[in-house]
Amino acid sequence: MADPSSSPDLAAFLRHFGNQRLVSISNRQRDPLPWFRGWLGTVHHGLPRNLYQFNPEPQDYFAFVGRISPEKRVDRAIEIAVACGVRLRIAAKIDVVDQVYFDQRIRHLLDHPLVEFVGEIGDAQKNDFIGNARALLFPIDWPEPFGIVMIEAFACGTPVVAYRCGSVPEVMEHGVTGFIVEDQQEAIEAARSIDRIDRQACRRVFDERFTSIIMARQYLDIYRSLLQPKPAVTASAYAVSGQRAMVLPGALAQSAIRIGGADSEANAEATLAEMAAARRHLPLSQTITPEPTFDVGSD
């Protein structure tokens, strides 16, 4: 689900369909909707355990990954890196809506000898790009609902310097996975001290909090609470495939419970895949129509 503070249409939608039940991707995501009573819980994003490899020996540069936009504040990242005398590598896309901002506010900053603009990179390139960095700079200036690049960095063992905005205090562990800062001076000091952060601790936090198996189990914990039979409605459960939520009837709902005792991430993900495949082949008469499909969150 998008951040409601940046999507007036979404707030209007939830006002109209206020009886719907949703799962937030951070507690911060709920703040713009204090009147909404349909939250079932919060589940942070997760990534497959083996998607990114731990790198104990980084190269001497800082990384910025994301979009070139006013709220992402790549200009802050450049200022931090230049003040530290450390090279900054920027992997970012420029959306059409942000082209003027880039041309007027950012392009000239890329001329500095310490700044390298790589452009947009794919998922296959992120492991090396983020993993080889001494730190990921995340100097955002908006209420980020999650910020998945932070946990991508943790998975690589790369610490993060992040502004205290949005979900950052929920995702980050100050002094363990990096530093949470309030302003540019603090950010510069944090970047200078980044080698004090144990890269193994960053990876450990990822393994303990942000794997896809942990995410899936947390969703299923919530969905189990919905399995109680209701008058004239077959008991249902929700299954997650990628970042889509689907409604399953009672027979498939029981198969969802299998994942709770899964011995491995592979078994758990196989169960989710089986449930998703079964859902696609259900006749319309077996689906539960009152419950619409929702995005459960994206960055």
Helix and strand numbers (H, E) in the chain are 11, 10
More confident residue, 206 or 18: 206
**pTM value?**
0.75
**Three-state secondary-structure class, residue 92:** strand
CA atoms 121, 125, 129, 131: torsion sign: positive
Beta bridge partners of 240: 245
Give helix 199-209 / helix 148-156 axis angle, nearest 10°. Answer: 120
The CATH architecture annotation of domain 61-209 reads 3-Layer(aba) Sandwich (3.40)
More confident residue, 96 or 265: 96
- Cα 220 to Cα 275: distance, rounded to the nearest angstrom: 13
Q: In the prediction, which pLDDT does 18 show?
A: 77
Q: Centre a 10 Å sphere on the Cβ of residue 286 and count the other Cβ atoms it contains.
A: 14
Q: In the prediction, which pLDDT does 6 show?
A: 52
C-alpha triplet 49, 55, 58: angle, nearest 5°? 150
Cα-based distances in Å from 78 to 116, 270, 284, 295? 10, 43, 54, 34
Mean pLDDT value of segment 24-37: 92
The model's pLDDT over 209-219, given as tens digits with 9 standing for 90+, comes to 999 999 999 99
- Cα 98 to Cα 93: distance, rounded to the nearest angstrom: 10
CATH 3.40.50.2000 positions along the chain are 61-209
Point out the least confidently predicted range of 69-73, 153-157, 266-270.
266-270
- Are 153 and 55 spatial neighbours (Cβ–Cβ below 8 Å)? no
Mean pLDDT value of segment 58-72: 97
Q: Distance from CA of residue 32 to its chain's centroid?
A: 18
CA atoms 42, 48, 53, 58: torsion sign: negative
Q: Which of 228, 242, 279, 200 shows the shortest CA–CA distance to 46?
A: 242
Cβ burial 265-282 (10 Å sphere, 16+ → b, else e): beebbebbebbbeebeee
The model's pLDDT over 94-152, given as tens digits with 9 standing for 90+, comes to 999 999 999 999 999 999 999 999 999 998 899 999 999 999 999 999 999 999 999 99
Q: Average pLDDT over the chain, rounded to whole?
A: 82
**Three-state secondary-structure class, residue 198:** coil
- Cα 193 to Cα 211: distance, rounded to the nearest angstrom: 28
- The two structure tokens encoding residue 218: 């947390």
